[in-house]
């Protein structure tokens, strides 16, 4: 039963990581690619780490894997925000964007 649960988690994580790779390849601009990279890749990596923790079935290994997962959950969104902000500052907006609320806020003296 443990092998089945671990295999299911690993396969689900692989599917999420594959969808992240496809999204990174197919999406048109920085922001949608960041969405694929942040959401799908984080979910895929956490599922794969959960599969490893279940498969190993030892507290020292599971503790390390949980620590890695928490670190990944904390740092991946921060890194994506930094990349999105850098892309925005370089004016890498998609041509179809009609409303730029962040830019309007910047011009008005906000944030």
* Domain boundaries along the sequence of the chain: 2-93
55-64, 81-90, 101-110: lowest mean pLDDT where? 101-110
108 confidence band (pLDDT: 50, 70, 90): low
pLDDT at 48: 94
Taking the C-alpha atoms of residue 37 and residue 60, their distance in angstroms, rounded to an integer, is: 29
27-31, 60-64, 80-84, 105-109: lowest mean pLDDT where? 105-109
Mean pLDDT across the chain: 85
The CATH number given to 2-93 is 1.10.287
Task: Read off the pTM.
Answer: 0.75
pLDDT at 78: 92
18-22, 75-79, 104-108: lowest mean pLDDT where? 104-108
DSSP string covering 16-71: HHHHHHHHHHH-SSHHHHHHIIIIIHHHHHHHHHHHHHHHH--HHHHHHHHHHHHH
DSSP string covering 4-16: HHHHHHHHHHHHH
């Amino acid at each position: 039963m443990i092998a089945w649960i671990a295999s299911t988690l690993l396969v689900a994580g692989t599917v999420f990581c594959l969808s992240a790779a496809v999204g990174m390849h197919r999406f048109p601009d920085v922001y949608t690619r960041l969405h694929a990279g942040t959401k799908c890749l984080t979910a895929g990596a956490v599922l794969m780490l959960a599969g490893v923790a279940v498969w190993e079935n030892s507290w020292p290994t599971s503790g390390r894997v949980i620590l890695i997962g928490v670190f990944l959950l904390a740092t991946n969104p921060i890194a994506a925000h930094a990349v999105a902000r850098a892309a925005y500052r370089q004016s890498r907006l998609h041509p179809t964007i009609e409303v730029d609320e962040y830019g309007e806020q910047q011009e008005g003296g906000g944030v």
